Structure 1
Amino acid sequence: MNDKIRHILSQITVLEDELRTSLQEQEGRLRYQIEGKRVEFEHVVKDAHVKLKRGLFAWFLTVRPQNYLTAPIIYGMAVPLASIDLFVSFYQLTCFPVYGIARARRADYIVFDHQHLAYLNVIEKFHCLYCSYATGVLAYAREVTARTEQYFCPIKHARKILSAHRRYAYFLDYGEADDFHVRLEEFRKLLAQELECSAAPENDSN
């Protein structure tokens, strides 16, 4: 990886931090705060949300017919999604300690908080919870796979791929064969450092 690419990647990191800060500021303007696992809005905002909620009868009247037809297919995906969740969790629980890789924290990817939105009726909340679970499981599985790829094969593809995981940009270029095995060990050392960092707070609290 040349200096120009390193510079661009560092700029991306800075921009991502700025974006995260801006999003947090926007959340503050929406006047809610997180208390434990609950999200609490100011009373004025919450009252306005309640008034915007669509009743079940009105909601059923506005649902498109094709949505009813495809609902069994959509919710039928719950079984494979739950299987992915289970097997990915089992895989990293058993294999990552052997490889010296920090486990991805499932709760960082699978987040349920839409049920606190008063402008959603009970069915809309259920839809949101399902979508949150589905996207969360896939993001969680992707991060576990990305860490595995970094351990075994941190090499980019010859062709451009869309929406690569966050570790991909730092992988070796396709065909970059010089000292491959030495550099592979460097990637593994980085994973080991992540493991040490994730374990540090636990050690400090003892």
Structure 2
Amino acid sequence: MSRFDELRSRLWALEQELEAEAERLRVEFAGRFAEGSERLRASHRAVRTRLLPYLLGARPAHLLTAPVIYGLVVPLALLDLALTVFQHVCFRAWGIGRVRRGAFFAFDRHRLGYLNVIEKLNCDYCAYANGLLAYAREIAGRTEQYWCPVRHAARVNAPHRQYGQFVPYGDAEGYRRELPILRRNLQGNVPPGERPDP
């Protein structure tokens, strides 16, 4: 095993440990919420900014940029549709496991009592936009793994999860050897966060 592969394995193990700890904290909060739910809900409502004071206290820059922010809903929805069509057509043709769209979207912040209706809408919009971009990244990562699984010579900031298994730049023999294996690894439907077979 190369040093790169060893570090990648250690990083994956740490990511799994981090996710397990995050899940433990989610369960712990859910338990605390259930125990003192009415008291907690009341404390949340007490700190919620009512709608009119929220709008009157908004910075002019926030009000002026709101149409620009929400104007992105149309291109985002078109991207969503295009990604879904792309993977259903191309991934089926190539034998790649399709990305489960729902795994990338989390809509839960609208249940928080300390957010007013506009803040809840903003949170759901951000959840949609970021979930969609994560969905797009997964589809693009699988597509890149299928067609061009070669690491770049230049540094890549925040590469997608498939990138670590790509063949080193300039390794022609490794590319020819690994390409069929990397393509075969895409045949199953590997959930986000799980490492495909080496």
For residues 127-149 of structure 1, what are the alpha-carbon distances to aligned partners after superposition, in whole Å with 9 as ceiling and x for unaligned? 11111111111110110010010
| Cα displacement (A) at 1:32 | 5.2
Q: What's the counterpart of residue 10 of structure 2?
A: 11
The one-letter code matched in structure 1 to 2:134 is A
TM-score scaled by length of structure 1: 0.86
The answer as to whether partners of 1:31 and 1:41 remain within 8 angstroms in 2 is: no
Q: Pairwise CA RMSD of aligned residues?
A: 2.2
Distance 2:82 2:31 in 1: 36
TM-score scaled by length of structure 2: 0.89
Q: What's the counterpart of residue 23 of structure 1?
A: 22
| Cα displacement (A) at 1:30 | 2.2
**Which secondary structure does the structure 2 equivalent of 1:178 belong to?**
helix
Kindly report structure 1 stretches of 4+ aligned residues shifted beyond 3 Å. Answer: none
| Cα displacement (A) at 1:157 | 1.0
The answer as to whether partners of 1:31 and 1:42 remain within 8 angstroms in 2 is: no
Structure 2 CA distance for partners of 1:104 and 1:148, relative to 1, 3 Å = same
Q: What's the counterpart of residue 171 of structure 1?
A: 166
The one-letter code matched in structure 1 to 2:163 is Y
**Which secondary structure does the structure 2 equivalent of 1:154 belong to?**
coil
Distance 2:154 2:139 in 1: 23
Q: Specify every segment of 5 or more residues in structure 1 that has no aligned partner in the other structure, as ranges.
A: 34-38, 199-206
Distance 1:93 1:30 in 2: 38
Structure 2 CA distance for partners of 1:21 and 1:157, relative to 1, 3 Å = same
| Cα displacement (A) at 1:41 | 7.8
The one-letter code matched in structure 1 to 2:99 is A
| Cα displacement (A) at 1:189 | 1.0
- Tell which deviates more after alignment, 16-25 or 125-134: 16-25
Q: Specify every segment of 5 or more residues in structure 2 that has no aligned partner in the other structure, as ranges.
A: 192-198
Distance 1:40 1:52 in 2: 20
